[in-house]
Structures are given as C-alpha cells and as structure tokens.
C-alpha cells in the first residue's frame, strides 16, 4: 500500500462504552493483535488517560502502535468558540503535542437539534466552519493538522451531495482538511469514489466503515462498498496518510474485540 497505514478507531469499543471507556491498554493490545498499526481515539474513550498523554505514548510504543488522531466533538454553534469549547480544544492540542504527526479530528456534536433549512442552516454551517478554522489555526501553531469528519445523521449539517458541494467550497477558504468517511458518504446517497475525486486535494485522513444495501452498518467486507476500488484510487493518487476502520455494526455491540479482529483480517489484504 505504499505509504498508506491502516489503523483502528475506538468506536467498536464505544458501542460498549461502559465496559471499555478508559481501558486504553486493552484497546491498544487488541488493535495491535488484529494487525492494525495505529489507533484513533475519542476523548471519552481515553477516560483518565486524557490527562496522561505520556502514559498513552508508552502503551502505544509497547505494542508498536502509533496515535493516528484524536477526535474532538464540539457543538460549535457560535461564530467563535465559547469558553468551554476553547478549554477542551486547548486540552486536546496539549495532548497531541506528545504525538508527532497525529492529527486533530474535528467532528460536529449536533445532539438532537434539527439541522434547520435555508438561511438558518447556512448560518450554522458558517459558524461551524469558523470555529473549526480557529481550532485549526491554534493546532497549526503546534504543527498539528486538523481535519473535519462529517457524518450522515439526519441532523448533520453536511449529509448529501448538495451539502457536500457547499462543504467543499467552504473548506477551500479554511486551513481545515477533509476526512472522508466512506460509509457515511454512501449512507448519504452518494458515490464514494466521486466524492473522493471532488475533494482529493483536501483529503488528509480517511475513515472506512462498511454498509449493507438495506442501510445497516456492517463488519468490514460484509457490506456493499467497493473498498478494493477505493484503496486503488487512493494509492494511484499518492495518498500517504492513515485509513482508519471505524466499525459501527450491530455485532460490535455484542463483541467489540471480535469485530476489531474481523476488521483486521479483512484489512490485511490491503496491508
């Protein structure tokens, strides 16, 4: 795969958050045993380790793993970050200072609020990008690359093809990179390869999750998405970053570790 590296997101364990949140050694060991080279961590899954970045680095190094990215979920409803948001952003950047080359993955925490329409929707989009660009500027001062990961939830501000056209035009005016999630792209009714080609110059990080024809999430390789074709495209266009597997399949609720192992077996064909 050239310079592409394959990692695991903490989401399969988030499906059993009460059991696994804070158990960083277990998640790292399981991901490494499955053949993954890196971990992308959500702050909530780090638990108390969010305050112990040096210890996290020691655990990762013990298993030959790297931290690929840290996920920062925020509401970002105003033109600027509020005090609480800015405080968490600062902590995230401080954490990442201990992990050279790890990215800051920003994600919109929309909660249950409807996304709105027309001018209201566009204003929310502008505020979100404004806040994320401020975050990217702060992170950039520390040499950290920031990427935005949109999803396909009904209240997402960027969900379908029309939304993505607006998003890509807005991203071009910022220092924020794009982290395509192939499963969410398909779930939004789009062709994944077409979207990747639309925004190839902004792609800094990639997420894989599989999806069945009925719209349900699947273990990697059990869905309908042409991942071999997507990997070929990324290789042919010189992508040299991480591909992170973020499994949200129902099976992950029953057996988080088992799903990570199954995903690892599937991804070995690309390693």
Per-residue confidence (pLDDT) for residue 112, from 0 to 100: 81
User: What CATH number has the domain bearing residue 28?
Assistant: 3.20.20.150
- What is the residue range of 125's domain? 18-209
Per-residue confidence (pLDDT) for residue 1, from 0 to 100: 64
The total of structural domains in the chain comes to: 1
E strands within the chain? 5-9, 38-42, 66-74, 103-108, 146-148, 177-178, 206-208, 210-211, 217-218, 242-245
Whether the pTM exceeds 0.85: the reply is yes
Residue 269 within any structural domain of the chain: no
Q: b/e string for 117-143 if b means 16 or more Cβ within 10 A?
A: eeeeeeebbebbbbbbbbbbebbeeee
Residue 157 within any structural domain of the chain: yes
Residue 238 within any structural domain of the chain: no
Residue 240 within any structural domain of the chain: no
Residue 63 within any structural domain of the chain: yes
* Residue pLDDT, tens place only, 163-212: 999 999 999 999 999 999 999 999 999 999 999 999 999 999 999 999 99
Residue 165 within any structural domain of the chain: yes
Residues of the chain below pLDDT 50: none
Considering only CA atoms, which of 263, 265, 260, 192 is closest in space to residue 231?
A: 192
Strand order in the sheet with 146-148: 177-178, 146-148, 103-108, 66-74, 38-42, 5-9, 242-245, 206-208
Sign for the CA dihedral angle at 69, 70, 71, 75 comes to negative
- Those residues whose C-beta lies under 8 Å from the C-beta of residue 21, and which sit 6 or more positions away, are 13, 14, 44, 45, 47
Residue 222 within any structural domain of the chain: no
Residue 264 within any structural domain of the chain: no
């Amino acid at each position: 795969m050239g310079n592409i590296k394959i990692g695991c997101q903490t989401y399969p364990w988030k499906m059993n958050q009460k059991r696994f949140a804070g158990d960083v050694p277990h998640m790292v060991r399981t991901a490494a045993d499955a053949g993954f080279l890196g971990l992308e961590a959500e702050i909530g899954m780090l638990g108390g380790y969010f305050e112990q970045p040096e210890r996290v680095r020691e655990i990762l190094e013990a298993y030959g793993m790297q931290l690929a990215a840290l996920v920062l979920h925020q509401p970002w409803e105003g033109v600027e970050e509020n005090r609480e948001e800015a405080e968490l952003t600062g902590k995230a950047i401080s954490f990442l200072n201990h992990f050279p080359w790890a990215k800051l993955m920003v994600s919109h925490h929309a909660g249950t609020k409807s996304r709105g329409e027309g001018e209201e929707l566009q204003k929310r989009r502008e505020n979100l990008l404004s806040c994320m660009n401020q975050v990217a500027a702060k992170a950039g001062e520390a040499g950290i690359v920031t990427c935005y990961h949109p999803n396909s939830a009904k209240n997402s501000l960027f969900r379908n093809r029309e939304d993505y056209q607006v998003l890509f035009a807005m991203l071009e005016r910022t220092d924020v990179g794009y982290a395509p999630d192939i499963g969410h792209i398909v779930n939004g009714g789009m062709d994944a390869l077409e979207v990747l080609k639309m925004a190839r110059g902004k792609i800094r990080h990639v997420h894989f999750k599989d999806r069945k024809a009925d719209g349900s999430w699947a273990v990697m390789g059990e869905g309908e998405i042409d991942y071999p074709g997507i990997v070929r495209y990324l290789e042919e266009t010189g992508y040299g970053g991480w591909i992170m597997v973020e499994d949200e399949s129902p099976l992950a609720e029953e057996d988080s570790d088992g799903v990570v192992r199954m995903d690892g077996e599937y991804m070995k064909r690309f390693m």
